[in-house]
Structure 1
Amino acid sequence: MERECLTLHDVTVKHTFLYTLVLLITLSACSSGEGIRIEGKFKSLKQGQFYAYSYSPEWNSFDTIAVKDGVFTLTHPASDTTIVILQYPNFMETMIVGIPGKTIKITGDARDLSRLNISGSDENELLSDFQKDIYKKSLSEKVKKAEEFIKTHPESYASLVVFHKYFLDTEKLNLGKIEKYLNLMLKHAPTRTHLLALNAKMNALVNCSVGKKLPTFKATTLQNENISNNTFKGKWTLVCLWSSWGSNTSRPLAIASKEIRKQHYDVEALNICLNTDTVSALSIIKRDSIDGYNVCDQKAWDSPLVKAFGIRMVPAIILVNKKGIIVERDIKEEDIISTLKEYLK
């Protein structure tokens, strides 16, 4: 097993609420020692590699796991139970519960990563049984099974894994169900750090949902201009949070900026880049002729602006009316032009 520390520019990850929580910690130097251990063997795969990361502040790196003759191992120092996410080259993910002092074993066919056998602890065996139970079921059936699972095991880390997969790591959030099951798990594990962090994130998202006011914030643009929510008072405002981590995370910004110029829309643009350096941000701003207030505080997911706007993925596009009320959020790339036309024409 090879371990190396990767920066945001070294790997492409799915930019979801899941990843937001990972980056509440600092991606710093790798450490060594005993703790969580994972052993596995894949059929139909002789050599390859995939990644492992976690929510825990102790897990301060993206680990690269090498597969040789189908076999792989990972040992990561940890003193507390946490969720470990294994991400494969095809961007499929397996979530397991990492428990210090226990060896989690994973076996299965690399051609069907949805049917892995996970053992080594009661929590992971629960997860493995759940995956077998929902295999080949429709999405709606899987969600129902997920609800039943959380109700039956609200104190379990396994339920936290299921909660992430079927209620948080989705394109469209059901805030009612998220609140219901998050509160249920908090009732049975009120001091669990991960649940408390989730609760804080969800409160921020609710406070910046459609119908709510533009949040209070302060920032300094790349042109060294100080701005705040008051800068946009009495104006239509399009807020776009973006990055250069992939073509799809910056393309919506270019589409919106071009359409605003083309149609001469009377709207201010607040463009917030999550890159960890301003050079790459400025390069894209220049390349795509991005107008408006451009901000890049180099703090990525730790940025106060990310927290203020309740962002769980990038790109994230929010439209605010002249009264300072959010009328649309999480606008899809294919809906940018029609949404601007609907409100601003």
Structure 2
Amino acid sequence: MISRFLLSFLLPLGLLASCGPDKHTARLTGNIKGVDQAAIIAYASAESPADGGGTDSIRLSRGAFSYDRPVSEPMLLTLVYPNFSTLTLVAVPGEEVHLSGEANRLKEVEISGGEDNELLQGFRSGNHGRSEADIRRKAEAFIRSHPKSLAAVAVFLDIFASAERLRARPDGELLDLLVKSQPNNAQLKLIAAHLRPVFATAEGAKLPRLAERTLSGDTFTDEKLKGRCALVVFSASWDSSNYRLVSKLRTLRRRFGQRLAVVNVLMDTDEEKARTRAQRDSLTNAIYAPGEYESPLARKLGVRYVPGTLLVDAGGTIVARDIDVEHLEAEVEKVVR
């Protein structure tokens, strides 16, 4: 029989172990079957004044984990699994979110804990096996039905913002709806500020006005592209696949000549490296973008990847962007006459 003294000692320990996070902390726990030792990366979907954390590594031991993050108000937290797939959930101070699932079916991991996460799980249920187009339609309907919820923002980030090719409609329209419905959401405002230039240069949009100084000292403007098909290329010497891109640009130059204008936006770490590369690789209309992804030109053109591209038809409409190097020639062939 357990003595009264022992009970009096064990009871506080049990209460301490079972208590939830304090009012300034969001807790994330989980159990992923089929994992021995691994790590999940956790980061805020955009810098938030409510966030007291950074980019953290959550260690899994035999599939189990527990992670506390300081937060002052509900916010979005994105997880990156070992297979590089992502999941966005809602972290709420004073509440615990629990994940459960299997390592070989990470897209079906179940989320529980908190109203927004339960709503999010309701959307995720039944998605396995559906086509991408079907999931997008379901996500659009969900966001339009719950525009004031953080769950809707999480769905937007996972389904629309993470897509390889963003679209002005309905993607941009859904973002505008969320911002309008959640005017006090500081994190959402930052997300929108980052994504709006991308939507403004999505397929079907017009190429923005340009007036940029080239490395040769000239001023390049969008007026020089009138009536011509153009390929705007974003590249950098630090990109390991740059040599493949340069080889493909040479092929395009030989095949299409003056029928295709190529504009090179160089996102190297310094101007001297950009200048050396432009001369060595014979890059036409070479524009240096200091600050890389944060440069004004990169932000204006919605750069998300390096190498990246904007393919523009003779009418100034963006017909494709961020085309894989292997498919670049075939895509250019569709618009150059």
TM-score by length of 1: 0.73
Are the equivalent residues in 1 in contact too, given 2:235–2:265 (CA < 8 A)? yes
Distance 1:98 1:280, change over 3 A: farther
1:174 is displaced (CA, Å) by 4.2
The equivalent residue for 2:297 is: 305
Instruction: Please state if 1:196 is matched with 2:186.
Output: no
The equivalent residue for 1:40 is: 30
Secondary structure (helix, strand or coil) at the match of 2:104 reads coil
1:285 is displaced (CA, Å) by 6.3
Distance 1:177 1:230, change over 3 A: closer
| Match for residue 70 of structure 2 among 77, 80, 87 | 77
What is the one-letter code of the residue matched to 1:269? Answer: V
The equivalent residue for 1:26 is: none
| Match for residue 159 of structure 2 among 142, 147, 166 | 166
Distance 1:261 1:153, change over 3 A: closer
The equivalent residue for 2:8 is: none
- Note the aligned Cα RMSD (angstroms): 3.5
The gaps in structure 2 that reach 5 residues or longer are 1-23
The equivalent residue for 1:16 is: none
Q: Which moved more, 1:272-281 or 1:39-48?
A: 272-281
Instruction: Please state if 1:330 is matched with 2:321.
Output: yes
1:279 is displaced (CA, Å) by 8.0
Secondary structure (helix, strand or coil) at the match of 2:310 reads strand
**Distance in 2 between residues matched to 1:81 and 1:124, nearest whole Å:** 11
After superposition, what is the alpha-carbon deviation per residue over 1:228-259, rounded to whole angstroms, capped at 9, x for unaligned?
Answer: 426845565421123567656x4663244222
After superposition, what is the alpha-carbon deviation per residue over 1:110-149, rounded to whole angstroms, capped at 9, x for unaligned?
Answer: 2211221222321112222322232333333323332332
Are the equivalent residues in 2 in contact too, given 1:270–1:294 (CA < 8 A)? yes
The equivalent residue for 1:254 is: 246
The equivalent residue for 2:255 is: 263
The equivalent residue for 1:147 is: 140
**Distance in 2 between residues matched to 1:245 and 1:128, nearest whole Å:** 40
| Match for residue 65 of structure 1 among 50, 58, 68 | 58
After superposition, what is the alpha-carbon deviation per residue over 1:59-107, rounded to whole angstroms, capped at 9, x for unaligned?
Answer: 6743222222322233333334322111123221111112233332222
**Distance in 2 between residues matched to 1:74 and 1:296, nearest whole Å:** 42
Secondary structure (helix, strand or coil) at the match of 1:111 reads helix
Distance 1:142 1:203, change over 3 A: closer
**Distance in 2 between residues matched to 1:45 and 1:297, nearest whole Å:** 43
- Percent identity reads 26
What is the one-letter code of the residue matched to 1:240? Answer: V
What are the residue-to-residue correspondences of 1:197-276 with 2, within 5 Å?
197-201=190-194, 203-209=196-202, 213-219=206-212, 223=215, 225=217, 227-229=219-221, 232=224, 237-243=230-236, 247=240, 250=242, 253-263=245-255, 265-266=257-258, 267-274=260-267, 276=269
What is the one-letter code of the residue matched to 1:55? Answer: S
After superposition, what is the alpha-carbon deviation per residue over 1:283-326, rounded to whole angstroms, capped at 9, x for unaligned?
Answer: 87688x35224444342332211222133444432234677x23
Are the equivalent residues in 1 in contact too, given 2:166–2:198 (CA < 8 A)? no
The equivalent residue for 2:117 is: 124
Distance 1:48 1:209, change over 3 A: closer
1:42 is displaced (CA, Å) by 1.9
Secondary structure (helix, strand or coil) at the match of 1:270 reads strand
